[in-house]
Structure 1
Amino acid sequence: MQFFMRWSFAGLLVAMTYNPTPWNYLSWFARHRLDQLPLAAVMGLALAIGYVVTLRATVRALGLTGVLLVLGLVAAVTWLALDQGWLTLQTPDGRIWLAIFAASAVLGIGLSWSMVRGHAPEGAGAS
């Protein structure tokens, strides 16, 4: 259950930044940056903090090699799904949602890796 909560957090972070609907930060910012600049700054900084924490935890847990391996696994599973006809990418929106899914999978696995290993990352706990 914790894995899905962490994966959901990563998915929300990525989708809130950009998705093919009008309900995302980048689209909102493009329309309202001049008339609501303070709110845009707060929202942008909140997203940036979310990315710093999430990316730092992911790279610390998996390492660069681990991140690349998980990304490769997600790419290979996507390739398999396309090859078997389980998935089609006929629309640009479908490709964007796939990229959101892939990014959230990598980040979700990175956020959950200490759970898989059975302990917190080095230096995270008390001695």
Structure 2
Amino acid sequence: MGILLRWLGAFFLLAAIFNPTSLNYVTWARGSWDNQMPLIVFSGLILAVLAMVYVVATMRSIGILGAIIIAAIFAAGLWVLTDWGLLGLENSALNIWLGILVLSLILGAGMSWSILRQRLSGQASVDEIGG
């Protein structure tokens, strides 16, 4: 459940920053800069701090190479789906959502890497051992 919540947090954070609908920070900031500049700056700083927490945790746990490998796996999967005709490149909104999904999965994996590594290897941490 914790892994799913970390991924959902990353997905909603990225979607709040930018998505193909009009309900995102970038569109709001562009349209309301003159009227709501202090609130836009404040909200942007909050979003930046939250994004930085995810990015730093991901880079510390899986590193840049791990992030590139995960991105390459998803890119190859999308390539296969496109080659089979199941996914088209002409729908830019879908492509943006897929980009948000892939980035959120990378950030979610980075935030959850220690949990995933323990489960895959069968190891237990000191906190999990009852005594």
The question of a shared fold, defined as TM-score above 0.5 by the shorter chain, is answered with yes
Residue type of the partner of 1:74? F
When the two chains are superposed, the root-mean-square deviation of aligned CA atoms in Å is 1.6
Unaligned runs of 5+ in 1: 120-127
Name the counterpart of 2:99.
Answer: 99
Name the counterpart of 1:16.
Answer: 16
Moved over 3 A (4+): none
TM-aligned CA deviation for residue 90 of structure 1: 2.5
**Are 1:65 and 2:65 matched, yes or no?**
yes
TM-aligned CA deviation for residue 55 of structure 1: 0.2
**Are 1:39 and 2:36 matched, yes or no?**
no
TM-aligned CA deviation for residue 108 of structure 1: 1.0
Select between 74-83 and 25-34 the one with higher mean Cα deviation.
74-83
User: With structure 1 as the length reference, what TM-score do the two structures score?
Assistant: 0.87
Name the counterpart of 1:122.
Answer: none
Larger Rg: 2
In 1, Cα distance between the equivalents of 2:87 and 2:97? Answer: 12
**Are 1:28 and 2:6 matched, yes or no?**
no
Name the counterpart of 1:125.
Answer: none
TM-aligned CA deviation for residue 105 of structure 1: 1.2
Residue type of the partner of 2:81? A
In 2, Cα distance between the equivalents of 1:72 and 1:31? Answer: 35
Higher helix proportion (structure 1 or 2): 2
Aligned length: 120
Q: In percent, how many aligned pairs have the same letter?
A: 37
Unaligned runs of 5+ in 2: 120-131
Residue type of the partner of 2:48? A
Select between 85-94 and 30-39 the one with higher mean Cα deviation.
85-94
Residue type of the partner of 1:92? S
TM-aligned CA deviation for residue 33 of structure 1: 1.2
